[in-house]
Every structure is written in C-alpha cells, then in structure tokens.
Amino acid sequence: MRGDGLGGWRALRGTVCGLVTIYLLAPLIIVVIISFSAASFLQFPPPGLSLRWYTNLFNDPAWTDAIKVSIEILIPSAALATVLGTAAAHALVRGRIPGASIIGAALMLPIVVPAIITAAALFGIYRGLGLNGTLTGLIIGHVVLTTPYVVATVSSALRTLDPRLEAAAAILGAPPLTAFRRITAPLLMPAILSGLLFAAVASFDELIVSLFVSSARVRPVAVQMWSNVRGDVDPTIAAIASLCFAFALAALILESLLRRRTGAGPT
C-alpha cells in the first residue's frame, strides 16, 4: 500500500489518525486543566487557576480514607495476582499439562465475562460468608479480575523465550527453582513487572465489583468517585481524576520503556 499513488487514502488515513488522537486525548487534557480551576463548578475554560481542589481533596477525610483503602487493596491484590499469574503461566507454557489450552482459556474468563455478573455473583456468595464490606472480600475480587492480565503477559513472554536456556541450566545441575530464579525470572522480569503494573492500575480503577462488595466504611477511590460523579459535581472530582490519570500514565510509560528494553513487539 506504500507509494502506489493512493494520495486520497493517505490523506484520509492521516485525518482519521489525527482526529482519533484528539478524541482520545482531549477529554483527559480538559479534566487536568479543570482540576486547576479557580471556579466552583466544572467550567471550561476556567476563569483562573488555583490549587484549591487539590487542597480540598487532601483535607477531606472521605477522599483520604478512600485513597488509603484503594492502596490497601491494590498492594496485596497486585502482588497476589502477579505471583499466582506468573506461576500459572509458567505451568501452562512449560509444564506439558494435559488440557493446558482449555485451562488457559478458563483462566481468562474473568476478563471476558461482563464485570456486572462477577460483581453480582461475588456479592451473593459473600453475604453468607460475611465478606461484604471487608478488605478481604475486595482483595479476593480484585485478584480474580487482575490475575488474567498477568497470565496473558507472562505466558506470551515465555513463549518467545528459548526453553533450551532452562534445559541448559537443568543439565548443568541447577534444581528447577534455582533455574527459574537465576535464568528464567531475570529474562521474564520485564513481562512480570508489566503484568504487575497493569494489575495495580486495573485494581485501582476497578469499579463494578468494588461497588457491590464495598460499604460506606470500606470504600475505595473508584466507588467514592462514582457516588460523587452523579450528584453535585465540583472540581474536586477533577482533581482526583487527574491523579488517577497521572498514575495510569506513569504506569503506561514505565511499561512502554520495559517493553522497548526487551525489544518485544506491541501488545
């Protein structure tokens, strides 16, 4: 398709790419600008700039508690998802387990099945177990939802990794765990880290399961945002949204750097 005189097509393609870039970026840029607004409502362009909404955010216990809860969920659930997902990916790709492809597909189900179904199901089961409104309940839900991302990232990295490296370590007398720790893990580290990053971001952003399973006392940021976003909206919500965006963007940039370092292709 290159250099075949399809000037019209290339112009169209360029226009669509430009418009899509604006379409995907503009909303986020506008939220960041509004978060620094001096006005008391969501006005664009803002009449003046101030940090009052960030001050507001960090002085309001409803928001600071929510940030604390989100972090208390995020750290254990991302760590658990990374460990469970990496172990499962290694077993699925290297283990020659009968039915590995079916098990692999089943492990992806939590991100295929609509979140509303998972949320309703967990809420229903948790009622009998007293897990609704607890950190444990939220962490379990988030591990279920984020493990598939780690399994997918790590297994695709493992597939491109030469199995003979591990075989060589084994032949030279390394026990399996040592071979993994000294040979496989360092080579997989970028993929494991990118799985960990995505799991952390996905946990922080997760709304629907959290909405069902949380309570007024244990309420993560996404749920706090949800309960505010539809009522009286002031730019405090733009401030927290900008922080979420900054967190996600930092993670995405870090992940892109990791990927470039390993020289793996996109996706």
Partner 1 sequence: MSSSDATTAETTPRDGRTDEKGAAIRAVGRIGRSALLLAPAVLLLLLAFLGPVGWLLSRAFTQPQPGLQNFVDLWERQGYLQVLWNTVAISAMATPICVLLGFPVAHAMTYGSPRLRRWLVFIVLIPFWTSLLVRTFATVILLQRNGPVNAMLIGLGLSAEPLPLIYNMTGLMAGAVQVLLPFVVFPLHAAMLRIDPAYMQAALTLGAGPVRAFLRVYLPLTLPGVLTGATLVFISTLGYYVTPAMLGGPRQTMIAQTIQDQIAQFGNWGMAGALSLLLLAVSGLVLLLLHLTVGLKAVAR
Phi, psi dihedrals of residue 37, rounded to the nearest 5°? -70, 155
Length of the chain: 267
13: contact with partner 1 by CB under 8 A: yes
196: contact with partner 1 by CB under 8 A: no
Residue numbers 52-91 binding partner 1 by CB under 8 A: 83-85, 87-88, 90-91
17: contact with partner 1 by CB under 8 A: yes
175: contact with partner 1 by CB under 8 A: no
Could you tell me the smallest distance in angstroms from the CB atom of residue 61 to partner 1?
Answer: 21
Residue numbers 104-123 binding partner 1 by CB under 8 A: 105-107, 109-110, 112-118, 120-123
Which of 34, 57, 73, 188 lies at the binding interface for partner 1 (CB under 8 A)?
34
**HSE toward the beta carbon, residue 98, CA cutoff 13 A:** 0
Which of 38, 174, 252, 258 lies at the binding interface for partner 1 (CB under 8 A)?
252
140: contact with partner 1 by CB under 8 A: yes
Could you tell me the smallest distance in angstroms from the CB atom of residue 202 to partner 1?
Answer: 9
230: contact with partner 1 by CB under 8 A: yes
251: contact with partner 1 by CB under 8 A: yes
Which of 158, 199, 208, 218 lies at the binding interface for partner 1 (CB under 8 A)?
208
Which whole-number Å values give the CA distances from 227 to 27, 223, 233, in the listed order?
A: 20, 6, 10
Instruction: Select from 5-13, 46-54, 56-64, 67-75 the region that touches partner 1 (CB under 8 A).
Output: 5-13
The token duo for 4 is 């075949």
The alpha helices in 130-184, defined as continuous H runs, are 135-160, 163-171, 176-179
Residue 56's contacts (CB-CB under 8 Å, 6 or more residues apart) are: 236, 239
Distance in angstroms (rounded) separating the CA atoms of residues 186 and 113: 33
Nearer to partner 1, 144 or 183 (CB): 144
The token duo for 181 is 């720790």
| 8 A C-beta contact, residue 92 and residue 151 | yes
